[in-house]
Amino acid sequence: MSWKIDDPQGRESAKVRFDIVPYMKGRILDLGCGQDKVFPIAIGVDNKIDAKLFGIEVKPDIAVETCERMELFADASVDTVFSSHLLEHITDYKAALKEWMRILKVGGHLILYLPDEDEYPKVGEHGANQDHKWNVNYNRVVSAMGAGWDLIEFEKRNKEQEYSLLFVFKKTESGVAFSHKTPKVVQKTLGLVRLGAYGDALWISGLLPHWKAEGYHITVYTHPQGEEVLRHDPNVDRIICQPQGLFDFGDGRIAMWQTAYWLHEEKKYDRFLNLIGSTERRLLPQSFDADFYLPDEQRRRLMNRNYIEALHEWADVPFGESRQRFYPNAEELSWAADERGKLEGPLVFINASGSSAPKWWPYAQELADMLSAEGIHSRIVGDLRHGKFRETRYARVLGTTMPIRKVFTLAAFSDAVVGTESALVNAVAYESPLKIVLLSHSTHENLTRDWTNTIAVEPAGLACYPCHRIHSDMSNCTYDREKNAAACQSAATADLVFEHIMANIKKPERKVA
């Protein structure tokens, strides 16, 4: 028995917190959360019995009489149900499990963390919790589950101060399965951390083929935007998606929690690389980095390096033929081909915005009008930020209504892509369309040096360019008030971009009336 009477009591969910991160997405319930939810993004549900029995302050998001009945939640309305050391307090635990499975979506997960009868005092024994109604073991839990599930993870946890069983069930349409029993033969494992947005994930895509060729099973840790980009990358074996704010417990220690998580995960792999800030913090500092405030000339001397080459160096991967790439699946390719086939004549994608404040190009509407006059189709995509755009017969405003994967896929079928330093231009960096990149904080050497069929527009004569900074606002950026944009972006006029397009794509034929 691993339980000891003088072990710390309570806060059991903290013992499995890091291991259930892969299931913390969508709508999450923490049933019987007690005084601490497993993660702040979960909806805590509790009957506050601990407040009555032990005087512990319990403030769940939803207070209930019992977690056996969840009438507040519709069928198939929850992505994950997590419960730690609760089910053993419920007499009719079979009915409770049925109810918890009812509210789960097909494909959702039920996570149970329960005291193991082999490791914890049984009901009636000395030291046992007096409110426990039954003794937990593997067979009893599995037999109580009914049908419509796959047990994808099971672990007997009896090291250090644990004395519990961990079950992860995935809801299915029908039947039962035991995936956790399938032997997993993996020779070498690699864990790769790359949090951030779409472009951050794209940058590591060129590294992955190298490790895959070395025989690694590759797990990527990323944010939801990164998961969306890498979802069908053939070089990724598993993606662990970390929701934004996962470790924001309100205690001001997000960085500490995050670091503890990486240290916990590192032990699971033969090789573990954390690429957070590997390029950005060194070559593109933010306002909270000391290097952000270096003199201009010093920043330019230290930071005018190619981002992807520097990333390869950081990861100890030879820099050669590997290139960043977005991988659409067959359905996305078929859809894009059909959509492109509906348009007669050239197609230009215009992405006026990027992820930071200065990445806004004020001439998107003007360019779309100029292209329309020539019978050239355009699609304005991304965060529109400023005002409304007019549509014409040839120009359409998509904004953020089209899923990003479809935007990337269709853009590769276009004739030209005009964009700030954004994910879209990165997604088609080595695809056939002409790329016109409106540089802001980076140089051609930094970003576009090795791209194919690319024109890098640099704001010549602007004293602050290149700044090699990521700006969270305009307080340290040269601002063009007339154009309501950063000076580096207003310098790239619509006429200039239009001339590049007309000189480099096949012009539509004019029909004779």
Percentage of the chain lying above the pLDDT 70 cut: 96
Say if residues 116 and 156 touch (Cβ distance below 8 Å).
yes
Q: Which of 164, 137, 169 is nearest to 152 (CA)?
A: 169
Q: Which fold has domain 188-315?
A: Rossmann fold (3.40.50)
Rounded average pLDDT over 351-372: 93
The alpha carbon torsion through 140, 146, 150, 152 (nearest 10 deg) reads -30
Q: Between residues 105 and 509, which one has the greater pLDDT? A: 105
| Architecture of the domain defined by 12-181 | 3-Layer(aba) Sandwich (3.40)
Which of 47-51, 78-82, 136-140, 297-301 is predicted with the least confidence, judged by mean pLDDT?
A: 47-51
- The CATH number of 330-504, from 3.40.1050.10, 3.40.1380.10, 3.40.50.2000, 3.90.420.10, is 3.40.50.2000
- Euclidean distance between CA atoms 224 and 117, whole angstroms: 38
Instruction: Tell me what pLDDT residue 478 has.
Output: 94
Instruction: Tell me what pLDDT residue 47 has.
Output: 82
Q: What is the mean pLDDT of the chain?
A: 93
- Euclidean distance between CA atoms 358 and 474, whole angstroms: 7
Q: Which two tokens stand for residue 46?
A: 């509790």
| Fold: same for 12-181 and 330-504 | yes
- Euclidean distance between CA atoms 406 and 396, whole angstroms: 15
Instruction: Tell me what pLDDT residue 513 has.
Output: 45
Enter the pTM of the model.
0.92
Say if residues 45 and 27 touch (Cβ distance below 8 Å).
no
Domain locations in the chain as residue ranges: 12-181, 188-315, 330-504
Say if residues 472 and 357 touch (Cβ distance below 8 Å).
yes
The model's pLDDT over 211-267, given as tens digits with 9 standing for 90+, comes to: 999 999 999 999 999 999 999 999 999 999 999 999 999 899 999 999 999 999 999
Instruction: Tell me what pLDDT residue 187 has.
Output: 84
Tokens 């904080």, residue located: 441
Alpha-carbon separation of residue 459 from 43, 147, 273, 368, 439 (angstroms): 49, 64, 36, 21, 8
510: pLDDT strictly greater than 70:
no
Instruction: Tell me what pLDDT residue 232 has.
Output: 97
Percentage of the chain lying above the pLDDT 90 cut: 82
Name every residue whose Cβ is closer than 8 Å to that of residue 43 and which is 6 or more positions away in sequence. Answer: 27, 28, 29, 30, 61, 62
